[in-house]
Chain A
Amino acid sequence: MKLSKKMTAIAAAAFATIAGMALWAPAGFGQAAAPQGGGAAREGATAPALPIEYTHLGLIQAGSIKNYTDVTDTMLTNPSPDDWLMYRGNYSAWSFSNLNQINATNVNQLQLKWTLTMNDGGANETTPLVHDGVMFLFSPGNTVQAIKADTGELLWQNNLGPLSPSLNPGGDVAERSLGLYEDKVIVPTMQGKIYALDARTGKVDWQTFYSDPSNPEEGQHGSDGGVIIVHGKIIIGMTNCSRIPQTSHCYISAYDANTGKRVWKFATVANKGEPGGDTWNNMPDDHRGGVETWIAGTYDPELNTTYWGTAQAKPWRRDARGSGAGATLYANSTLALDPDTGKLKWYYSHAPGESLDLDEVFERILIDHGAQKTLMTVGKPGILWKLDRVTGKYLDSRETVFQNIFVNIDPKTGEPTYRKDVIDQKTDQWLPSCPGPEGGKDWPPASYHQPDDEIIIPLSQSCVLMASDFSQQFYEMPGTEGNMGRLSAYETNTMKPLWSLQQRSPFLTGVVSTAGNVAFVGDFDRVFHAFDTKTGTQLWKTRLGTTVQGHIASFAVNGKQYIAVMSGVGGSSPEQKPSFILAGEVSRPMHGNAIYVFGLPDNNQQASSR
């Protein structure tokens, strides 16, 4: 019943947008809902009221979740397969579920169990988190909901705000993951704040700035890449660090989960006089931009080390930046940090002096092969890197898509050599780049299918001509016959390629694989797929309301396994490039942020595996 009302409300809001109406609420409206999170109802002229979901901040639906158990460090280290406690499922970013009730033989029987539309007005790339049968979901406008994970019943909703200025799609204001710790839901926002909500009631426990806009030492940065919580410390990265001059560089920082007090801060740009500060061609400190950490890191409890990727230096091209051939540390690197102090243990620069908007910022997947502890990651150039995560030493690499950026990769150090015209770039020169800023690989995370030591990577295939002022023109990647989407599997111990497939539309969700030997992934053209992890054969697919975008979660409630997936629009390069290249060919609704939850028919359930 509650869902039905919400659907009606969202339909009304969508109508208002279509009709070009402004968002407003009559004076005094919504008195029953006490705003929380520092906001208030929007003021406006007298006019028919929109539902409070679209006009009011605060706890607009109160609730109290009984029998909710606190999320402990032990749980985070060894998550129950029934839960999906964090971004990418576990500390190692495996995006893998040990549940096997839904498997390669019955996945074709999947059916929709429930769906819930989410706020439009911003990009949807989020991760549904699940604990004790309760799902916590983030929507644009910093709305957080607690939902019964098996039925879709709304338990509480807090609109933290600020509300989206428009219900129009687009923008790159995404938040890829919440965090859970003890009795709190941790909510990072793009407005520089972290909130801690009471998981049982949704009430704000504390809030703090990780980037205070009133503090010139911190500037006004945002974070869209989720968090990782280690030893009661919320560790968060940062984006929007491209403004020049820049008095405040990007940093990774940690906060006490009980109080919100900052514990440490690590700046990702090396200034003059600091280690690595001589890698910026003597540029002034305030011209050293970028080096964002817009994807949350991973964590190895045994080594007590958290691993983060960094983005490229800004401005994007060397000639505009003025950094010459310098490595611009710690841009496009892997950083290994002590989670308790923020101290740098080691770094590895994947692409020194990067110049074509090709981030190496994405998930660091932690995989052991016997005694060897490795870290694997893929950046926008599409190179699958393998490092020793104890020392940071380069071990191996593989190209996963066609690339024409590098002409050599040193087999001992992994240092790439750029194409000559990239090195010699001139200000008036358009530089071709395959892959372009869409990646190769972008934010949708790969899955490590542990039973087969197999990494399954969502890849994209497009190219760009880039000007010094960052103007871009797009074209298809040679050798792909126009197929922008690619899914490839590798055995991680040997780096041996196992299988690949490609399709016209790119994949826009992360991959989640399960012990049932199924890999789930969604695409730009609204298709949600299930593939056989061993062969890449498609086992099942269905069409959702709009682009299948965001993160997937596998969980179980009362012994029944479910698969949750997001649909959404908006976002940056991975969504914008196919929107351009496939215009007139692939059409999708420009609204439709939503979550869909699938399961087997009720008469086909078996006990979930652990």
Chain B
Amino acid sequence: MLRGDTRSGSKNSAIAAKNAMGRLRVTVRFSVVLAVGLAFAMSAAAAPEAYQINLGPVARSNATQMTAVGRGTADAALDGNKLSINGMFGGLASPATDAHLCQGAGIGVSGTCTNGLAVSQAPSGSVSGTVILNVKQIAALRAGQLYVQINSQKAPAPAGNLWGWILIAHETEGQDVPQQDHWFLPQYDMPQSVEHGSTHPLKTKPNS
């Protein structure tokens, strides 16, 4: 899904998400992130925080290698304590059945799924929802601990079908394109990681 023309896609992750499966190669620049981050810092306290989600197959074994497939993207925004999620997915081997907001111990660390999200009961479609977060959940969101999981008929819970961590909106050049400086995803709560990932968006401390 990610191969082929990677340079012609939009450089805006939100647009890419709306165009879903055919244009999943989000190619945008970290420099824009910095600008956005600075804008955050200078803007009104109530400005929503922007997040993005790249949905890919969950951890798979031989038994689930060909059933837990597909891909998707979503945008998320935190406005006060209200988290809104809107995205698309496709390529599932069976119809989606349910979707959830989940929490683990960090980026890439799976955990427990709680709040339900609306999802198309089909191999492709949309996933969306609004969840009121408590203070701990807001902190977890900012630490990269929240993720979205979609389950399907052939890849049901608890393992599920697709997942994607809710990451602070960031931009990369995409496939095959050299990019200057650091641009791997830093671990949000590790000081050295923030330092090593010099474009870490949390440097700008988005408003809560």
Contacts and interface: CB of A to CB of B under 8 A. Distances in A.
A497 interface: yes
Contacts of A464: 59
A477 B26 contact: no
B61 A504 contact: no
A473 B3 contact: no
A501 B176 contact: yes
Given A478-B108, A479-B107, A580-B65, A399 B178 contact: no
Contact of A499 (B66, B106, B178, B186): B178
Interface residues of A, number: 54
Contacts of A478: 54, 107-108, 144, 164-165, 167, 185
B180 interface: yes
A411 interface: yes
A474 to B, nearest CB: 6
Interface stretch (B118-126, B130-138, B191-199): B191-199
Contact of B186 (A402, A421, A536): A402
A164 interface: no
A401 B110 CA distance: 19
Q: What's the interface size class on B, roughly?
A: 35 or more
Nearest to B185: A479
Nearest to A417: B190
A464 B191 CA distance: 24
Contacts of A420: 105
A52 interface: no
B187 A503 contact: no
Contact of A476 (B57, B66, B182, B193): B57
Contact of B1 (A399, A465, A482): A482
A603 B108 CA distance: 53
A475 B178 contact: no
A536 to B, nearest CB: 3
Overall SS of chain B's interface: loop
Listed residue (B56, B59, B66, B167) with the most chain A CB atoms within 10 angstroms of its CB: B59
B178 A500 contact: yes
B59 A465 contact: yes
B154 interface: no
Contacts of B57: 475-476
A481 B25 contact: yes
Nearest to A465: B59
B180 A483 contact: no
Contact of B3 (A399, A401, A500, A504): A504
Nearest to A473: B59
B175 A502 contact: yes
Given A432-B59, A465-B110, A481-B26, 13 more contacts: A399-B193, A411-B192, A419-B105, A477-B108, A479-B54, A481-B54, A500-B179, A501-B176, A502-B175, A502-B176, A535-B178, A580-B60, A583-B65
Interface of A: 397-404, 406-409, 411, 419-421, 432, 434, 463-465, 471, 473-483, 486, 497-504, 525, 531, 535-538, 580-581, 583-586
27 contacts: A398-B196, A399-B186, A401-B184, A402-B184, A404-B187, A407-B190, A409-B192, A434-B107, A473-B59, A473-B61, A475-B56, A478-B54, A479-B54, A479-B107, A479-B165, A481-B25, A482-B2, A497-B198, A498-B180, A500-B178, A501-B179, A502-B172, A525-B3, A535-B178, A536-B178, A538-B176, A584-B69
Interface of B: 1-3, 24-26, 54, 56-61, 65-66, 69, 71, 104-110, 144, 163-165, 167, 170, 172-187, 189-193, 196-198
